[in-house]
C-alpha cells in the first residue's frame, strides 16, 4: 500500500484512513494577524488545500472531503462571501485540467443552488468532466450544514411515509444513510480541524459517529503536507474498536 511510505519512525501503523475530512479553519485569523484582508487568508488556504489534494494519491488516501463553505458562512461580510465565491470560481478554472489529468473525481455536497447560476454551472461541469476518475474522490462541501442535511432526510422519509411507499418500522441506519449526499462514500475515518477550535460546527453530524477527531492548533494557511502526514500517523497507531470489546 502506498501510504507505507509515510515515515513512521519506530511506530507501526495498524490503521490507514480511507476517508479523511478537513475543517479548514483559521484563514481569517491568519490574515488579520498580518494586517491583510480576510480573503487573503482564504487564498493562502486554497493553496494549502491544493498541496494536500496532490499528496493524497501518494499517501494512499482514496477519499478526501473538505468543508469549504458552511450554511452559516452567508452571515459573513458581503466582501468576504464574494471573495470566497470568486476563489471557488478561480480554482475550478485553473485546476480543472490538472484534476482531470491526475484522476481526481470532484463531488460537491450542500445546497449549491444558493450560489450564482454561473458558479453552479461550473460545479456541475467539473463533476461531469471528472465523473469517471478513480484515483481520489474529492468532496467539496459548499453551503453545507449537517443539521440541514438531517432535516432534508427527515422530510423525504416523511413524504414517503405519507405516500405509503415507506413503512416506518422498516427504517434502519442503512436506509437513513441512503438519504444523505454522502451515501456513496465510506464514513470519514478521520476528521481534522485546524486553528485550535475543538468542535464540529455543524459538519458531518451523521457521518462522524465513529470518526477519529483530530484538532490541530495550526491555522489552515500554515497547514502543510507534513502536518497532514503527522495526523495520519497518529491515526494509524490508534486502534478503532467501533464500540466493540476486542
Residue nearest to ligand FPP (CB): 28
Tell me which residue of 98, 82, 6, 83 sits closest to 46, measured CA to CA: 83
Which of 8, 15, 18, 73 lies at the binding interface for ligand FPP (CB under 6 A)? 73
Sole window of 86-94, 124-132, 172-180, 199-207 interacting with ligand FPP (rule: CB under 6 A): 86-94
* Contact region with ligand FPP (CB under 6 A), list: 87-95, 127-135, 168-176, 206-214: 87-95
Can 73 be counted among the known catalytic residues? yes
Strands, E, within 35-181: which ranges? 63-70, 104-109, 136-144
Q: What are phi and psi of 193, to 5 degrees?
A: -115, 130
Pick between residue 6 and residue 119 the one whose CB is nearest to ligand FPP.
119
109 binds ligand FPP (CB under 6 A): no
Closest CA to 70 of 149, 144, 181, 148: 144
Query: Distances in Å between the alpha carbon of 180 and those of 106, 109, 110, 136?
Result: 17, 10, 10, 20
- How many residues does the structure list for the chain? 246
The reply to whether 133 belongs to the active site is no
Q: Tell which residue, 29, 25, 116, 38, has the closest CA to residue 69.
A: 25
Site string for ligand FPP, 120-159 (x = CB under 6 A): --------------------x-------------------
Burial status of residue 204 (CB atoms within 10 A of its CB: 0-12, 13-18, 19 or more): buried
**Alpha-carbon separation of residue 42 from 70, 102, 172 (angstroms):** 14, 24, 40
Span 32-61, contacts to ligand FPP by CB under 6 A: 42, 45-46, 49
The reply to whether 29 sits near ligand FPP by the rule CB under 6 A is: yes
Q: Closer to ligand FPP at the Cβ: 61 or 66?
A: 66
We find the least distance from the C-beta atom of residue 50 to ligand FPP, in angstroms, to be 8
Q: Which is nearer to ligand FPP, 29 or 240 (CB)?
A: 29
Query: In a 3-state reduction of DSSP, which class is residue 207?
Result: coil
Does residue 83 interact with ligand FPP by CB under 6 A? no
Residue number, 3 or 42, with CB nearest to ligand FPP = 42
Give the interface with ligand FPP as residue ranges (CB under 6 A). Answer: 24-29, 42, 45-46, 49, 68, 73, 87-88, 91, 140, 195, 220
Amino acid at each position: 500500500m502506498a501510504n507505507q511510505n509515510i515515515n513512521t519512525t519506530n511506530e507501526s501503523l495498524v490503521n490507514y484512513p480511507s476517508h479523511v475530512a478537513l475543517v479548514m479553519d483559521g484563514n481569517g485569523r491568519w490574515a488579520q494577524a498580518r494586517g491583510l484582508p480576510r480573503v487573503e487568508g482564504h487564498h493562502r488556504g486554497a493553496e494549502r488545500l491544493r498541496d494536500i489534494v496532490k499528496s493524497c494519491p501518494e499517501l494512499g488516501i482514496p477519499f478526501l472531503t473538505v468543508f469549504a463553505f458552511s450554511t452559516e458562512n452567508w452571515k459573513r461580510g458581503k466582501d468576504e462571501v464574494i471573495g470566497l465565491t470568486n476563489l471557488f470560481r478561480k480554482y475550478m478554472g485553473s485546476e480543472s485540467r490538472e484534476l482531470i489529468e491526475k484522476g481526481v473525481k470532484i463531488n460537491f455536497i450542500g445546497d449549491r443552488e444558493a450560489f450564482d447560476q454561473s458558479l453552479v454551472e461550473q460545479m456541475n461541469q467539473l463533476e461531469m468532466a471528472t465523473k469517471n476518475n478513480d484515483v481520489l474522490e474529492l468532496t467539496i462541501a459548499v453551503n453545507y450544514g449537517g443539521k440541514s442535511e438531517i432535516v432534508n432526510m427527515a422530510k423525504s422519509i416523511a413524504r414517503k411515509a405519507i405516500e405509503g411507499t415507506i413503512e416506518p418500522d422498516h427504517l434502519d441506519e442503512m436506509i437513513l444513510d441512503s438519504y444523505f449526499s454522502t451515501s456513496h462514500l465510506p464514513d470519514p475515518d478521520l476528521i481534522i480541524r485546524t486553528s485550535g477550535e475543538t468542535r464540529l460546527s455543524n459538519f458531518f453530524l451523521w457521518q462522524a459517529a465513529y470518526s477519529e477527531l483530530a484538532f490541530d492548533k495550526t491555522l489552515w494557511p500554515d497547514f502543510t503536507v507534513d502536518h497532514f502526514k503527522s495526523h495520519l500517523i497518529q491515526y494509524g497507531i490508534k486502534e478503532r474498536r467501533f464500540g466493540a470489546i476486542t
